Structure 1
Amino acid sequence: MITGKVKQYIEKEQLFAPHEKLLVALSGGADSVALLRVLLQLGYSCEAAHCNFHLRGAESDRDENFVRQLCLRLQVPLHVTHFDTTQVAAQRHISIEMAARELRYEWFEQTRLACGADLIAVAHHGDDSVETFLLNLIRGTGINGLRGIRARNGRIVRPLLCLSRTDITDYLHGIGQDYATDSTNLHDEYTRNKIRLNILPLLQQINPSVKESILQTARHLDDTYYIYKKGIDEGRQRVYDGSQISIPLLLQEPSPATLLFELLAPLGFNHAQIDDIFASLTGQSGKVFIASEWKVVKDREYLLIENRQHTARPPQLQTEEQDYYPGFPIPRDKNTACFDAGKIQHPLDLRLWRQGDTFVPFGMKGKKKVSDYLTDRKFSLVQKEQQWVLCCGNNIIWLVGERTDNRYRVDEHTRKILIIKLLTR
């Protein structure tokens, strides 16, 4: 019996307890209808949730009406929402498929909280896991992408992964339960449909049990993943401190290219970018690699990792003016700058340094480029980008937290001293 097989799978994977309430994602298709019917037959407390994405015209409304009638007959509380999916995809600059996925899961979680459900049950089955394996293999992926679909991911559970698509349709026919058919599943415009309709039948000609073989491989890789992840986590601790990757330490690792992939792929860098970053490790400094939210900068001995969403915030400064007298205790730390107040014209301007900026470093007579000073101090490229300067008119009087300008120094003619303290960077 299908219900017995699902019950065993739920218990084996420890997906949820008998007392937990489930919000069932109900599209109206065979898999989701089977999921609801099986869970109800097993005695679980269920409510249903249906999204109308308005992507298939009258067919979308037909599915909604079918779901309403089914839940009415089964006496299952139903939650329905409508989305202008095409508009959201355009606003978010993503594909329609991705927009539908994001909208669906965002709303499912909101509805779960509103109705007091413990978990969201979705109807992915074994064939979906096979297709996902092949899809990731075709697109290119690490070991994580070849593990198939997870039985549980946070609040999302998938009780039907132990079943095939044929198991599901046979079950529905056996209990006399109809379901809605998505006509887009019968066409191969989408990559997943091409795999289902064209590639898998061809593979089955070579090996009639290819689906089970793929699922067995995915299960094996799932077990292997935990050993692999342990090695990656240990390597991460050796080479990465959260803001930079040590190039010399990375190159000492058993598989530096693989470790680099696992460090950077979660930040949105693709295979080609990571290959380019790895190739740059023995090259000149200064190369910059950009993903949607993160930036990697090749420095001398480090790959510097910076979140592009974090704009440089100006440091907080505290200013006070005091009378100056011989023997005045002038602070010597880099976070405090002292100037002859009579040489300063207000207001002062705080900004990030720019190419071409110069100043006269304290104790020197000639001008020096700020870029040369920062290079001499062995600043990384990211540190250089975040260096602030305090200006009086067109002149820099302080590389904040570093060095003051000699032209504004305290001397024997000073009557008042301006003290500026760096409070936060």
Structure 2
Amino acid sequence: MALLHLLVSAGQKGLVLCHLNHGLRGRESGQDAAFVRRLGRKYGLPCEIEKTPVSEQARTQKVSIETAARMARYDFLHRMALRHGAECIYLAHHADDQAETILANLCRGTGISGLKGMVAETATAPVLCRPLLEMPRAEIEAYVKAHGLAYREDSSNLSPAHRRNRLRHEVLPLLNEVYAREVTPLIVRLGRQAARDEDCLQQQAREFIQQEGVIAQDGRLLLSTKLRSLHPAVLSRILHFWLGGLAVPGVDADLLDDALAMLRPGGPAKINLQGGRHLRRKAGCLWVTEAV
């Protein structure tokens, strides 16, 4: 509600309200959709509303309800952007959301890329734009109150069944108490620094690939002396770019560590990949073999 009010107040043209009903809260979910329709009439804006069976999708895709809901939302938003020829999708994630994301990624064993959390703007179209990403929730609530904006509270946000909610209602308040200060701004600052450093390392990796021509026409990675002498932080990103270009699934920290080990003296000459494929090393090259 705050984001919409800010965009309308700033004179943003061509806005389309988009709401996905996850069908998880019965009548309450339907009332949310009705609220958005009324909002569209109030502002004179077109409104796109869909309903999707998230619980069923979570079962068939074997993912959590939260993951299935997020996937469904982004699919819906991208389809609506395509339908309306929109170049930008505005999202209302704020600083507290960012802190929760970074903490969740940290507890999953993320690297620098995960520590940066969400980005304020994505590079690919349609652009995902998060103008409130560094604004604390308390400031947003104060804005809503000051302007008398009506809103609806999602009751599932209070449920301890979701890990995200426990981070919000238990973990972050406990960290605030332990350190006797608000830790959210510090975590958000960590995200900014991680994004800066990750961008630098990726830029070095891209420049090395372009300047040294280490990826052959047939897709092999040429293990030149220069490449082997690179810092592992840059080399791991070169491996990530290369494997991603070959559509290798599951390129995570464990796989990259195993690939780096192949470049050391006495390292393995073959490691297994998902789908029955293999990563092999021989005669100064790395290449991926297809599944038989």
SS of equivalent residue, structure 2 residue 16? strand
Aligned to 1:303: 286
Q: Give the residue type in structure 1 aligned to 2:17.
A: A
SS across alignment from 2:221: strand
The match for 2:183 is: 210
Compared CA separation, residues 207 and 115, structure 1 to 2 (3 A): same
Q: Residue 53 of structure 2 corresponds to which residue in structure 1?
A: 84
The structure where strand makes up a greater share of residues is 1
Instruction: Label 1:59 to 1:165 Cα distance change in 2 as closer, same or farther (>3 A).
Output: same
Q: How does 1:19-418 map to 2 (within 5 A)?
A: 33-45=1-13, 46-153=15-122, 154=124, 155-205=127-177, 206-236=179-209, 238=212, 239-241=214-216, 243-247=219-223, 249=225, 252-256=228-232, 259-260=235-236, 263-264=239-240, 266=244, 267=248, 268-281=250-263, 282-285=266-269, 287-291=270-274, 295-300=277-282, 301-305=284-288
Instruction: For 1:191 and 1:262, locate their aligned partners in 2 and report how far apart those are by CA, in whole Å.
Output: 34
Give the deviation of 1:124 after TM superposition: 0.8
> Based on CA coordinates, which of the two structures has the bigger radius of gyration?
1
Gaps of 5+ in 2: none
The percent identity for this pair of structures is: 32
CA drift at 1:182: 1.4
- Equivalent residues of 2:92, 2:131 under 8 A apart: yes
Unaligned runs of 5+ in 1: 1-32, 309-384, 386-425
- One-letter amino acid matched to 1:37: H
Give the direction of change, closer, same or farther, for the CA distance of 1:53–1:254 in structure 2 (3 Å limit). same
Q: How many residues align?
A: 275
Tell me if structure 2 keeps the 8 A contact 1:261–1:271. no
- Give 1:280 shift: 4.6
Q: Which residue of 2 aligns with 1:374?
A: none
SS of 2:132's equivalent? coil
Change (3 A) 1:258 1:110: same
Task: Map Cα deviations across residues 88-124 of structure 1 (whole Å, 9 max, x no partner).
Answer: 3344444333332222222222222323433211111
> Is the helix fraction higher in 1 or 2?
2
Query: Could you tell which deviates more after superposition, 83-92 or 124-133?
Result: 83-92
Q: Structure 1-normalised TM-score?
A: 0.58
Q: Which residue of 2 aligns with 1:353?
A: none
Task: Note the C-alpha offset of 1:39.
Answer: 0.9
- Equivalent pair of 1:123/1:159 in contact (CA under 8 Å): yes
Q: Give me the whole-angstrom Cα distance separating, in 2, the residues matched to 1:263 and 1:303.
A: 10
Query: CA shift at 1:295, angstroms?
Result: 3.6
TM-score scaled by length of structure 2:
0.81
Distance 1:98 1:243, change over 3 A: farther
Take 1:249 and 1:63, find their aligned partners in 2: how far apart are those partners? Answer: 60
Q: Report how far residue 207 of structure 1 moved.
A: 4.6
Summarize the Cα distance change of 1:103–1:306 in structure 2 as closer, same or farther, 3 Å threshold: farther
Answer yes or no: is the 8 Å Cα contact 1:247–1:303 preserved in 2: yes
Distance 1:255 1:291 in 2: 27
Aligned counterparts of 1:86 and 1:188: Cα–Cα separation in 2: 18
Provide the C-alpha distance between the structure 2 equivalents of 1:261 and 1:93, rounded to a whole number of angstroms: 30
In 1, are the aligned partners of 2:201 and 2:234 still within 8 Å (CA)? no
Quote how far apart the aligned CAs of 1:84 are: 1.5
Partners of 2:206 and 2:238 within 8 A in 1: no
CA RMSD of superposed structures (Å): 2.8
